[in-house]
A and B are shown apart, each in its own frame.
Chain A
Amino acid sequence: MKEQYRAYMDQVEVSPALHQRLIGLSAPRRPNRWRRYGSLAAALVVLIGVGAVGLGRLARERAGAELGETEPDIALEENPQEGAGEAGTIGGYEVTDGEVVSYFALPYIAYGPAPADSTQVDYTLTAPAGSTRRAVTAEDVLTLVGGETALETHLGWGGLAWTGEGIFLSDGSLWHLSLLGEGTDLALSLEVMAGEELPPSCIVTEEDTVTDVGGIPVKGYTGGIYGKTDDSTGETVLWLPESRTVEFAANGAGYRFQVYVPEGEEEQAGLLASQFVRLAIADGLNLSMTQEEPVSQEEPGGDRADSPAYDPAA
């Protein structure tokens, strides 16, 4: 089959008329940058409540706001910049949308090794009084990232099964989100915290590897493993030993995003992490998720009285 397919395609050539059309092309006029991003300039209102933080999608000035864009380049480069903390790109991609073509340059992010010198602390996520929780749906994920194009093309999150939970304040705004996306060769974990604080972590590291991405410090590290076993057989059904984790705060929220991939797919993990960082910093996530009837209501002090409560102000 291969030989026949190759032999067939080898004899396919453009017609003389098409050739003449192509060599007669001239560069189109560049579209006005503001018109290109006009739809993104329409923003939802940011809600600010007394004693609480509401989150919405923020409008951003787009002129020249592409993250770390130097020279657009489509192929991935292994380590285009020397030393952590320097701006740069690892390539990018184009998205066509009717007549509009957007180019997204993906930021280079440096990753430190797995936290070796670290302290593990126990914590309980204590939501404010009057908060409620509910499960996150696939539709919520689409709302969060801004639609199917964003999910599939901008983020590369297509084909994943989603689970997660949102904690909502008494005014209905999202306070904390935890999300897990799982596929056959990929797992993603996303935590979002309202305000400019990072989601709490049980690991405190001594030395951080930080990259400046458009003025936002992004901490990156490796070392997580994602595994899943079959409950009935005890057999490992999913084993993803490579990971990339990014932590940063932008657009009124703190993020921890972890990508788990099979061995040898580190480059793919880095790509997915960069894609998320680009979208979260340049566009922001849409955190105006609807709060349904509460599944459970939080009492002050949390439900694990034997563990110290997490206090971001401590």
Chain B
Amino acid sequence: MDHSDRLETLVTQYENTLFRAALAILGDVPEAEDAVQDAFLRYLEKRPALRDENHRRAWLLKVLANGCKSRLRARKRRGTAELLDAYPAPDPDSREVLEAVMDLPARERAAVHLFYYEGYSTQEIAAILGQRPGTVRSHLSRARQALRERLKGEV
């Protein structure tokens, strides 16, 4: 398998994972696309020696999260509307959930996505986001509280 085949395999395996996480954090489609590209570029540059696929997935998400943090620091406005325009919610309830999640602060959105969608533990999320586990738990707790109040139902 040559380089291009390996890259295509890597991209095909992880592009949606990274794209979804980037959208959750950034809420903006063009920025999320660029963040995903940057993550794969870092992978090509670093060529990390990783134990297994779980390791690779966590490595890519970590690089992606760092890139998203830089973009958030640099940006002037938030683009939530672009996300739901490009990927409409299938029904009003889902739209309400998405809007509630995307209205959370980015750091809470990142924890929510990695916990509820990717299924990582708080310890793993802490390693990916470069935070303390206690910090991750605080973010999740605050996010749950905010979502509970906004959605007035089970979170």
Which residues from chain A sit less than 8 Å from chain B, CB to CB? Answer: 1-2, 4-9, 11-15, 18-19, 21-23, 25-28, 30, 71-76, 91, 93-98, 101, 103, 153, 156, 158-159, 183-186, 262, 265, 267-268
Contact = CB atoms under 8 A, between A and B. Distances in A.
A9 B17 CA distance: 10
Query: How big is chain B's contact interface, by range?
Result: 35 or more
B16 A2 contact: no
B7 A21 contact: no
B58 A75 contact: yes
A263 to B, nearest CB: 13
A12 B87 contact: yes
Interface of B: 4, 7-8, 11-12, 15-16, 19-20, 23-24, 33, 36-37, 40-42, 44-51, 55, 58-59, 62-63, 66-67, 69-70, 87, 89-90, 93-94, 97-98, 100-101, 112-113, 116-117, 123, 126-127, 130-135, 138, 147, 151, 153-155
Contact of A71 (B7, B8, B49): B49
B42 A19 contact: no
A42 to B, nearest CB: 23
Closest 10 CB pairs of A and B: A185-B134, A27-B44, A71-B49, A4-B97, A74-B59, A22-B11, A96-B70, A23-B8, A4-B94, A14-B15
B58 to A, nearest CB: 6
Nearest to B116: A2
A14 B134 contact: no
A5 B117 CA distance: 8
A8 B44 contact: no
A19 B48 contact: no
A25 B36 CA distance: 12
Contact of B37 (A22, A75, A186): A22
B97 A5 contact: yes
A94 B62 contact: yes
Nearest to B95: A8
A19 B133 contact: no
B15 A19 contact: yes
A127 B73 CA distance: 44
B19 to A, nearest CB: 5
